[in-house]
Amino acid sequence: MKYVSFDGEPVIPQHEFFMNEALKEAHLALEANEIPIGAIIVANGRIIGRGHNLTQRLNDVTAHAEMQAFTAATNFLGAKYLQNCTLYVTLEPCVMCAGAAFWTQISGIVFGAHDLMRGFSRLNMPILHPKTILQGGILEKQCSTLIRDFFATKRKS
């Protein structure tokens, strides 16, 4: 499907636009030699939180992109909950991050690549908040290629 604006120019659909922003965060992780996963939080069309994987730099296996983004967004809002916000993340959240999303009561989660090994949805359990709408597979190829290439390079070195 191709999107065009009223004057005929191609339009990037909202989900793809914001996933590209999450991909920019993933590239920041890559530059820091971290597993390239990025996340942003959007409220009313505005990015209010950003994060990328920092597990190596912080020496903390819980320092996932989503956790950084949740904290950044709540700091920005001065509120504990992320109702009316959407998380965009390049990889399907793990159980920890899905559990964290539950506590934030976030309205939407949009992820890029599916994670058949560690993604929370493999459990097929109601981990997310009942109000959270989930959508996966946005820019899946770009998101998954970035991670796959990272590990392929690591194995060679």
List residues with catalytic annotation: 66
Per CB under 8 A, the segment of 16-24, 31-39, 71-79, 137-145 that binds a second copy is 71-79
Phi, psi of 14 (to 5 degrees): -50, -50
Does 69 participate in binding a second copy (rule CB under 8 A)?
A: no
Does 146 participate in binding a second copy (rule CB under 8 A)?
A: no
| Residue-level length of the chain | 157
Q: Measured from the CB of residue 97, what is the shortest distance to a second copy in angstroms?
A: 7
Tell me the number of residues near a second copy by CB under 8 A. 28
* Helix ranges restricted to H, the chain: 14-31, 65-77, 95-104, 140-156
Among 75, 84, 135, 153, binds a second copy (CB under 8 A): 75
Helix axis angle for 65-77 and 14-31, nearest 10°, is 110
Does 100 participate in binding a second copy (rule CB under 8 A)?
A: yes
Does 14 participate in binding a second copy (rule CB under 8 A)?
A: no
Q: How far apart are CA 27 and CA 144, in angstroms?
A: 13
Q: Token pair of 41, please?
A: 């939080």
Does 78 participate in binding a second copy (rule CB under 8 A)?
A: yes
Does 103 participate in binding a second copy (rule CB under 8 A)?
A: yes
Among 18, 70, 88, 150, binds a second copy (CB under 8 A): 70
Does 89 participate in binding a second copy (rule CB under 8 A)?
A: no
Q: How far apart are CA 86 and CA 128, in angstroms?
A: 13
DSSP 155: H
Q: How far apart are CA 40 and CA 123, in angstroms?
A: 24
Residue given tokens 């990015």 in the structure block: 47
- Which spans of this chain sit near a second copy (rule: CB under 8 A)? 55, 59-62, 67, 70-71, 74-75, 78-81, 94-100, 102-104, 120, 123, 125, 127
